[in-house]
Amino acid sequence: MKLVRYGKLGKEKPGLIDAEGKIRDISHLVDDIAGPALSPKSLAKIAKAKPAKLPLVRGNPRIGACVGDVGNFIAVGLNFADHAAETGAPIPKEPILFNKAPSCIQGPNDDVMLPKGSKKTDWEVELAIVIGSQASYVAERDALKYVAGLCVCHDVSEREFQIERGGQWMKGKGCPTFGPLGPWLVTLDEIKNAQNLDMWLDVNGERMQTGSTKTMIFNVKQLVSYISHFMILQPGDVITTGTPPGVGLGMKPPRYLKAGDTVSLGIQGLGSQAQRVVAFKKG
């Protein structure tokens, strides 16, 4: 299934994408695509519904983040071998983990706002994992049982804040609008192989990133299992798993986003996003 959240910011409703790409309302089945609604039992309930009999959503509503009420937004750094080579960094022996602020999550097509004083805001297309069941000390062989689905994440990053301001990477990763998710959450039954998905990102129509999840150093199963040994993962938590090469930081000279730029990105089978970059505005 492809599950979606649509409507005005803060008032999104749950929906399902039918075979024709139209949104069907499922608010009579679940309150939101969040928390308990992501459990195997809840997903099975939704799957039993016949899309053609579900209420059709008219018009062209805004698409919100594909998962709501996210508790933990965990990111993995340098998790693609070709991206690590691009940055000159050694291959990590264990996953590099940091946090993105849940408050940075937004819809896939909402504007990305440059932070106040930003000079080095960068782009990163990433595969994100959405947890469906509470997970603690999960064995790698069982890890997918705890996953509700996958989605596209734009891990927007301010490199000066991240690298040059001391402390942890999270400084440059959780600014407002830095976590577009979606357009939809795709359940695992629709994904033949999560480790062989093409990825891409364009800036102003120019291809910047071309990659594949097959170059991930730590795969989906490994990441869910590993992280569950350090914290309890809850339904609705999001793990974004790293980016392929082609980020602005790795260019010579480096290239960064500026107001007026447009960014589009996507992953095979998971849909695409498109954002306009805007200047900082206090709000």
Task: List pLDDT tens digits, range 251-270.
Answer: 999 999 999 999 999 999 99
> CA 259, CA 270: separation in Å to the nearest integer?
27
Please report which confidence band the pLDDT of residue 220 belongs to, taking 50, 70 and 90 as the band edges.
very high
Q: What is the pLDDT of residues 81-115, one digit of tens each?
A: 887 777 777 889 999 999 999 999 999 999 999 99
Q: What is the mean pLDDT of residues 16-21?
A: 97
- The model carries a pTM of 0.97
- Order of all β-strands in the sheet with 262-267: 112-113, 271-278, 262-267, 198-203, 206-212
Residue 227: what pLDDT?
98
Type of residue numbered 167: G
Whole-number average pLDDT of the chain: 96
Sign of CA dihedral 128, 131, 135, 140: negative
Q: What is the mean pLDDT of residues 13-26?
A: 97
Residue 145: what pLDDT?
98
Tally of CA atoms within 13 A in the half-sphere of 100 that contains its CB: 32
The domain spans of the chain are 2-53, 73-278
DSSP state for residue 224 in the 8-state scheme? H
Residue-by-residue DSSP string for 15-42 = EEE-TTS-EEE-TTT-S-SSGGGGSHHH
CATH, domain 73-278, list 3.90.850.10, 3.40.50.410, 3.90.79.10, 3.30.43.10: 3.90.850.10
